[in-house]
Amino acid sequence: MTDGRVTAVVSRTEPSLRASIQDAALDRARDDFRGARIDAVAHASTTTGYLIGPAEEAALVERMSALFEVPAVTACAAAAAALSAHRVTRVQLVHPPWFPDAMDVLGAQYFRDQGFDTSLTKAVDLPDDPAGIAQHQVVDWVEHHLDVRAEAVFLAGTGFRTAPAVDDLEQRLGRLVLTANQALLWALLAGTPTPWTLTGHGRLLRAASPQT
């Protein structure tokens, strides 16, 4: 999304959502990053945010920031902040087909707890393999399953790689469209002092800074 202007250094944590946020997992990630210059750190998991809820997620952000000594962000909190920045009150969540039903319930509750009027749809007609989903399929599916009352659409899941579909969707829907990875990038850039201008990937990333 940044054409190489942002470099990602990745540490894979524990497969269990709970285990991935424990001190041992975060300490291992810190060791993985040792020697690398990092400007911000992200925990890239939508379902973790759903599972632990907004309060525990906020505490996780504080722990990560203290541990790595840089600004920290998480996927769900980033999406909620982006929606608030655009004064959205009603959001439609679109979940990929591989999300368990329990995560659908937790996801809707997460955003309701953040004060959003929330509806949810699961893209069950799309392939159950992330690698098998074409962007035009995402665009067509969301367009035909839009909640007309929604002011914005959030395509949840960092493994649901839908960023290239955002511009087309916003043009078709006439609404703000967010993806988990796009919102994470926005929040990461918002936590650093460098202004940016990006083309593509939606209205959220087109501003020169998150405040404009």
pLDDT tens-place string over residues 82-137: 999 999 999 999 999 999 999 999 999 999 999 999 999 999 999 999 989 999 99
Model pLDDT, residue 11: 75
Confidence bin at 1 (pLDDT 50/70/90): low
Confidence bin at 209 (pLDDT 50/70/90): very low
User: Does 171 map to a domain?
Assistant: yes
Model pLDDT, residue 133: 92
Worst-scoring range by mean pLDDT, 13-17, 62-66, 152-156, 171-175? 13-17
User: Does 25 map to a domain?
Assistant: no
Tokens of 94: 């679109």
In the numeric block, the tokens 């599972």 are attached to: 51
Tell me which residue of 60, 47, 83 sits closest to 186, measured CA to CA.
Answer: 83
User: Does 187 map to a domain?
Assistant: no
User: Does 140 map to a domain?
Assistant: yes
- pTM for this model (two decimals): 0.88
Residue type, 118: T
User: Does 207 map to a domain?
Assistant: no
Confidence bin at 194 (pLDDT 50/70/90): low
User: Does 71 map to a domain?
Assistant: no
Number of structural domains found in the chain: 1
User: Does 7 map to a domain?
Assistant: no
Give me the domain span that covers residue 120: 78-182
Can you give the CATH number for the domain in which 82 is found? 3.40.50.1860
Model pLDDT, residue 18: 87
User: Does 36 map to a domain?
Assistant: no
